[in-house]
């Protein structure tokens, strides 16, 4: 019955992320693969209090159908967080999504017709690639350096692709590279988008997890024409299991996102939304995020120290100021997916770089996650990985 | 920037369901519009106990990222429920979805290319129409009578549309008509699907809420070739706010649903999944469903009694054996959407029939919900509605 499926199923394959989650279930494997937060930091007792209070005070509403846009007190709290980042927004500019993954799918649905061009960093977040791929676009990748997307390259791409639908960017501690777009490039990005009349989708799941360097305003802060659609999530600052993210955008966009959101799940879990809002009302989420930053700073420093000590000198790697990931660049002749097989045999895993290039044309890099592993496993895992790299070279 | 949006946005409009939810927030309005369960039946104290136990025993897993397919103990419990309905399934045949609305979106994504034909009952569930519409199919509607979809009509449609992608059906207490497909037609439906080699999507959100008549096996019970994809939900038997539904299908289909599900929200709220599984472990959900049936039986009988007493004699209506809805057929010259405006002025609302016809060619009917309103509001609401109908005729 294969002829019955839609065309978009043809380039569908179980993504690496899912396969990764399966591998990490084996206790002997040290996984630097997923983008999982440190579970020991989840505020379980506080969430329990929030649950009880929500069920005691508003149990019926917490369990009933609700509105597509999301729970008003949560959207108000989101507006407050946005304001702290330098973005003025009212609740009419915010919808709650089922994780920011849903915001990616909705963005594909809203903008992409088959064959349309979309522009992204090279490399970029693999689950964004997969979400967009379902709508069958062409990807134009823009090269990056240590300051993020290279604006001269972006302008060339915009000139060559005048009908491109949007620019997708992760300016803060990018997934997979850990790189941060510089202040001047943020401003330039908005200028170019204005000049070439294109939408920017700014995906910022990690921005609040900055543990070094100077805080930078989001790209949307510089948006004067309402063309930046800002996506974020509670997954990295609270609890990913609850699947709560948000879209903050001009009302013109929100009015189109909402009916699509309604078509795909009516609304996000209202109990989870009320728990999250109640948690922020009862407890100090800023203090909680500060704890996350401290732990991730420590783990990032430990992992970099181990890499410096253990990896061969010709291996390059990024030095993130926040977020969850380090990007490792191997010599040209190394294929990271071959290395992955060897690494798995040695009970240590990463995500090979190729998955992060929508056009698949890059092999000698991989992504390391440092947020999810305790010290001794970071030390041991990098040692194992170094062995595999050294063996591969011979 | 309108030219930037995808084509599929062109027939996008805020659906009536969402507008309905907004109207029902006004306390003076008696709403027979939404498909909301009776919130006073939600087992709030039991859910509180389940929350506490989940957070005490498995707090970290409940808040962390999880697998796309869903929480294994919940999938096992779903298999048990399926078995009670006469469907043999293992957890490899089940994925948990973010409400069964997500299962509808995923089904559109999996099967529909622009211009493809899909077959459905006439009328059919409006949120399914909207979910599918995003993938731009043609709808072929098949007429119904009191026994559900008319099989002779279906066969004609299958002959005329040999490349149709699937038959979408709600055999039990259909939304919007409240009608139930007879046993012989269930068997015939599977026979025809086998003969014409087409997939059946059986949507069964209300099947367990039968309060009269004889229990019938689902269409999938008669499926010998793995071509029936069965959708259901916890929304009507537990709590819609948690957004948990499921797909039960042949592994060939599940293997394609899973990566799409991953692309649209990674996984459904794992805390909600664990709460639901824990609730079923600690408490007797069958006893809870029996309570729901009793209340809905009473409300349905009361509403029918009021309709009999108040409505003009030339108004026809269905007599559902379960579920949440009564379908009211007006004389040919009455436009239900005009009636809606008058009804709203009189602070009573329904959903006009036109929304349930994908090709929009039917005006003189509307849907009434009886599950969500206490007795005195049913009595008062039907009285108000009868006044509006009588006035309209003059």
Task: Give tens-digit pLDDT for A254-305.
Answer: 999 999 999 999 999 999 999 999 999 999 999 999 999 999 999 999 999 9
Dmax over Cα atoms in chain A, in whole Å?
65
- Residue-level length of chain A: 394
Place of tokens 């039968």: B210
Residue B68: both structure tokens together: 């796309």
Return the minimum-mean-pLDDT range out of A27-31, A267-271, B20-24.
B20-24
Chain A residues in contact with B158 (beta carbon < 8 A)? none
SS3 B15: coil
The Cα A38–Cα B135 span in angstroms is: 39
- Residue pair A239/A204 in contact (Cβ under 8 Å)? The answer is no
Q: How many contacts does A have with B, using Cβ atoms within 8 A?
A: 259
Instruction: State the average pLDDT over residues A305-317.
Output: 96
Pairing of strands A365-369, A351-352: antiparallel
Pick the residue from chain B with its C-alpha nearest to A39.
Answer: B60
B236 versus A23: the higher-pLDDT residue is B236
The Cα of B164 is separated from the nearest Cα of chain A by a number of Å equal to 8
Q: Decide if pLDDT at A201 tops 90.
A: yes
The Cα of B331 is separated from the nearest Cα of chain A by a number of Å equal to 32
**CB-based contact B264 A264, cutoff 8 Å:** yes
Per cent of chain B over pLDDT 90 is 89
**Closest CB from B8, B239, B263 relative to A63:** B239
Q: Decide if pLDDT at B229 tops 80.
A: yes
The per-residue pLDDT for B351 is 92
The per-residue pLDDT for B20 is 64
Cα–Cα distances in angstroms (integers) from residue B35 to residues A59, A366, B206, in the given order: 19, 49, 11
- Residue pair B239/B42 in contact (Cβ under 8 Å)? The answer is yes
In this prediction, residue B18 has a pLDDT band, given cuts at 50, 70 and 90, of low
Name the burial class of residue B160, with classes exposed (0-12), middle (13-18) and buried (19+) by CB atoms within 10 angstroms of its CB: exposed
In this prediction, residue A360 has a pLDDT band, given cuts at 50, 70 and 90, of confident
Q: Decide if pLDDT at B361 tops 80.
A: no
Q: Decide if pLDDT at B12 tops 50.
A: yes
In this prediction, residue B17 has a pLDDT band, given cuts at 50, 70 and 90, of low
Q: Decide if pLDDT at A150 tops 50.
A: yes
From the CB of residue B208, how many other CB atoms can be counted at a distance below 10 Å? 21
The Cα of A342 is separated from the nearest Cα of chain B by a number of Å equal to 25
- Residue pair B244/B98 in contact (Cβ under 8 Å)? The answer is yes
In this prediction, residue A27 has a pLDDT band, given cuts at 50, 70 and 90, of confident
Q: Decide if pLDDT at A307 tops 60.
A: yes
Pick the residue from chain B with its C-alpha nearest to A99.
Answer: B265
The Cα A313–Cα A103 span in angstroms is: 40
From the CB of residue A255, how many other CB atoms can be counted at a distance below 10 Å? 13
**Closest CB from A52, A165, A241 relative to B271:** A241
| pLDDT, tens only, B127-164 | 999 999 999 999 999 999 999 999 999 999 999 999 99
The per-residue pLDDT for A20 is 63
Pick the residue from chain B with its C-alpha nearest to A12.
Answer: B259
The Cα B187–Cα B184 span in angstroms is: 5
B15 versus A385: the higher-pLDDT residue is A385
Residue B199: both structure tokens together: 């997939």
The per-residue pLDDT for A21 is 60
The per-residue pLDDT for B27 is 85
In this prediction, residue B214 has a pLDDT band, given cuts at 50, 70 and 90, of very high
Contacts of A302 (CB under 8 A, 6+ apart): A370, A375, A378, A379
Q: How many alpha carbons fall within 13 Å on the CB side of residue B200?
A: 31
Cα–Cα distances in angstroms (integers) from residue A103 to residues A132, A244, A245, B103, in the given order: 11, 10, 8, 18
The per-residue pLDDT for B115 is 96
From the CB of residue A186, how many other CB atoms can be counted at a distance below 10 Å? 24
SS3 A314: coil
Place of tokens 């899973």: B258
Distance of CA B213 to the CA centre of its chain: 20
In this prediction, residue A92 has a pLDDT band, given cuts at 50, 70 and 90, of very high
Give the alpha-carbon dihedral of A179, A180, A181, A183, to 10 degrees.
-150
| pLDDT, tens only, B292-331 | 999 999 999 999 999 999 999 999 999 999 999 999 999 9
In this prediction, residue A125 has a pLDDT band, given cuts at 50, 70 and 90, of very high
Chain A residues in contact with B8 (beta carbon < 8 A)? 109, 113
**Closest CB from B15, B63, B240 relative to A239:** B63
Alpha-helical regions (H) of chain B: 16-23, 44-63, 72-84, 99-111, 126-133, 151-160, 183-195, 251-265, 270-282, 285-310, 336-345, 375-393
Q: Decide if pLDDT at B108 tops 60.
A: yes
The per-residue pLDDT for A2 is 47
The Cα B367–Cα B352 span in angstroms is: 6
Give the alpha-carbon dihedral of A87, A90, A91, A94, to 10 degrees.
-30
Contacts of B336 (CB under 8 A, 6+ apart): B330, B350, B352, B353, B354, B363, B364, B365, B366
The per-residue pLDDT for B302 is 98
Helix, strand, coil percentages (3-state) for chain A, rounded to 5, are: 50, 15, 35
The Cα B238–Cα B279 span in angstroms is: 10
**Closest CB from B17, B101, B197 relative to A264:** B101
The per-residue pLDDT for B2 is 47
**CB-based contact B134 A268, cutoff 8 Å:** no
**CB-based contact B68 A18, cutoff 8 Å:** yes
**Closest CB from A42, A63, A227 relative to B242:** A63
| pLDDT, tens only, A127-143 | 999 999 999 999 999 99
Pick the residue from chain A with its C-alpha nearest to B36.
Answer: A65
In this prediction, residue B113 has a pLDDT band, given cuts at 50, 70 and 90, of very high
Omega into A176 within 30° of 0, i.e. cis?
yes
Place of tokens 């294109």: A198
Helix-helix angle A126-133:A99-111, to 10 degrees: 40
A199 strand-pairing partners: A166
The per-residue pLDDT for B24 is 65
Average pLDDT, rounded, for chain A:
94
Instruction: State the average pLDDT over residues A37-49.
Output: 97
In this prediction, residue B96 has a pLDDT band, given cuts at 50, 70 and 90, of very high
Omega into B184 within 30° of 0, i.e. cis?
no
DSSP string, B17-32: HHHHHHHTTSTT-EE-
Instruction: State the average pLDDT over residues B224-236.
Output: 97
Contacts of A242 (CB under 8 A, 6+ apart): A234, A269, A272, A275, A276, B63, B269, B271
| pLDDT, tens only, A217-267 | 999 999 999 999 999 999 999 999 999 999 999 999 999 999 999 999 999
The per-residue pLDDT for A368 is 98
Q: What are phi and psi of B290, to 5 degrees?
A: -60, -40
For each of the domains in chain B, give its residue range(s) and CATH number, in order of start.
2-43+287-393 (3.90.1150.10), 44-282 (3.40.640.10)
Place of tokens 């999250």: A276
The Cα A208–Cα A238 span in angstroms is: 11
**Closest CB from A37, A131, A241 relative to B270:** A241
The Cα A275–Cα A156 span in angstroms is: 46
**CB-based contact B99 A14, cutoff 8 Å:** no
Chain B residues in contact with A235 (beta carbon < 8 A)? 65
Cα–Cα distances in angstroms (integers) from residue B211 to residues A203, B205, B228, B300, in the given order: 49, 15, 26, 10
**CB-based contact A235 B65, cutoff 8 Å:** yes
């Amino acid at each position: 019955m294969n002829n019955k499926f839609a065309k978009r199923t043809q380039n569908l394959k179980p993504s690496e992320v899912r396969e990764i989650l399966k591998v990490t279930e084996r206790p002997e494997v040290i996984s630097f693969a997923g983008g999982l937060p440190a579970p020991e930091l989840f505020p379980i007792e506080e969430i329990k209090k929030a649950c009880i209070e929500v069920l005691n005070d508003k149990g019926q509403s917490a369990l009933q159908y609700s509105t597509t846009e999301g729970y008003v007190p949560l959207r108000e709290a989101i507006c407050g967080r946005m304001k702290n980042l330098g973005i003025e927004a009212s609740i009419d500019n915010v919808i709650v999504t089922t994780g920011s993954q849903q915001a990616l799918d909705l963005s594909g649905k809203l903008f992409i017709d088959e064959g349309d061009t979309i522009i992204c960093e090279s490399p970029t977040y693999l689950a964004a690639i997969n979400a967009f791929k379902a709508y069958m676009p062409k990807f134009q990748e823009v090269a990056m350096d240590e300051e993020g997307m290279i604006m001269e390259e972006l302008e060339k791409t915009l000139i060559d692709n005048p009908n491109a639908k949007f620019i997708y960017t992760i300016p803060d501690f990018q997934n997979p590279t850990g790189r941060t777009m510089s202040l001047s490039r943020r401003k330039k990005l908005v200028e170019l988008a204005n000049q070439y009349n294109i939408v920017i989708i700014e995906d910022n799941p990690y921005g609040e997890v900055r543990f070094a360097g100077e805080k930078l305003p989001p790209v949307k802060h510089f948006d004067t024409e309402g063309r930046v659609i800002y996506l974020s999530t509670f997954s990295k600052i609270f609890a990913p299991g609850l699947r709560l993210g948000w879209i903050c955008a001009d009302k013109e966009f929100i009015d189109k996102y909402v009916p699509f959101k309604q078509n795909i799940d009516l609304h996000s879990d209202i109990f989870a939304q009320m728990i999250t809002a109640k948690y922020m009302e009862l407890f100090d989420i800023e203090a909680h995020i500060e704890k996350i930053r401290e732990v991730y700073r420590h783990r990032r420093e430990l992992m970099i120290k181990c890499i410096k000590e253990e990896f061969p000198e010709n291996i390059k790697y990024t030095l993130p100021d926040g977020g969850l990931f380090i990007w490792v660049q191997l010599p040209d002749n190394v294929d990271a997916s071959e290395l992955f097989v060897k690494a798995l045999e040695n009970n240590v895993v990463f995500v090979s770089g190729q998955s992060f290039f929508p056009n698949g044309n890059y092999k000698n890099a991989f992504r390391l996650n440092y947020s999810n592993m305790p010290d001794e496993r970071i030390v041991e895992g990098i040692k194992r990985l170094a062995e595999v790299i050294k063996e591969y070279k011979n």
